[in-house]
Structure 1
């Protein structure tokens, strides 16, 4: 497939508002409800910084949930210059696909809980998407942290066992069944459990 150098992908970020007791709840045993919410806010800042390091803010949209007018989102919009949009109703697949098809041309979606998705890794995904139908960053838990597509492929988001270790395997099966070529540049990890937080804090780049 010919690379389209005149149409860089739009990058969509999915993030909840950092509300105590509703964000990063599995970190509460380690950090407490307020601490887990602050940790989530830190991750969102980290995610946005990497996204806007790889692409101009005009090419980045932050899709919000829980509290669309939360001060964190407003601050990021005003300081960075990205666009805010409210996540629609529906399961994760519906929300990912909605974001992907909301902008023309190739697009990518990533969550806010994978600190290993660096600016450099996003740039690598952009390059891969220029010559592949799909780009995915697999996660160690069997899901994925980023997906990008050049066109709309609804089957990649319908009847997927979201929240299980079979997400990536099911998605790869759908990709192969559709005859699409995909790139998997690197495997990353999610920030879900207390040990994940400790793992990140042990890295020099998190300080």
Structure 2
């Protein structure tokens, strides 16, 4: 490991929140289009793609998962050995993100929270967002559905994650308002699409949908 890579890994931690992509447990809203197995395969593909994009940035990556990383299910995914795996705490999404961020900031200067629903969140976009934290207190890439696909900061405040109705169109707007109330500067990027419902499938990378539809046909 070069000294430059080591310094980058110590500077920033990218945290991905994920649950195991089990049939009837993950991406269930895609089942009308892809079927039970196809939706689970899509969840798996989105997860592995997101991990790949994060790891390729060269920064430290933590996968915060449910169930616990010791569960045998995770062994089947053949995850990169460089991943740091942790277990999601109890509570709503906000509390889980807050605790994970607080823990990471004990060891890193910057924290970047991302999900696994946005294939458009590429390595280059994550790297560009991290660079913005050299001039700003926080950075956000909103989702087109009103949430966000990336949120980064150099310090964390409980107000960013409390009293927010998650999975609603107001999440990004409320979070931006909370950041402004804190007096923080925010680097804001154009929204990117999440893949949550059948209508979102048009935003998949080329070839992804064909493979998922083939999975559905094979299992019908």
Same fold by TM-score greater than 0.5: yes
Correspondence for 1:200: 204
Mark the structure with the bigger radius of gyration: 2
**Who is 1:43 aligned against?**
46
Aligned 8 A contact 1:8 1:126 in 2: no
Match of 1:190 in 2: 194
- Within 1, Cα distance between the matches of 2:103 and 2:74? 23
**Ranges in structure 2 where 5+ consecutive residues have no aligned partner:** 1-6, 212-220
Shift of the alpha carbon at 1:163?
Answer: 1.2
Note the alpha carbon deviations across 1:43-85, whole angstroms, 9 max, x for none.
Answer: 01100110011124xx1110111464254456444x3421111
User: TM-score, length-normalised on structure 2?
Assistant: 0.83
Tell whether the 8 Å contact from 2:68 to 2:87 is kept in structure 1 after alignment: no
Find 1:27's aligned residue among 22, 30, 45: 30
User: Is 1:139–2:169 an aligned residue pair?
Assistant: no
Question: How many aligned positions are there?
Answer: 199
- Tell me what 2:174 maps to: 170
Per the alignment, do residues 75 and 28 of structure 1 end up closer, same or farther by CA in structure 2, a change over 3 Å counting? closer
Find the counterpart in structure 1 of residue 101 from structure 2. 100
Compute the TM-score of the two structures, normalised by the length of structure 1.
Answer: 0.88
Give the C-alpha shift of residue 175 in structure 1.
0.8
Q: Is the 8 A contact 1:76 1:82 kept in 2?
A: no
> How far does residue 191 in structure 1 lie from its aligned partner after superposition?
0.8
Where does structure 1 lack aligned partners over 5 or more consecutive residues?
Answer: none
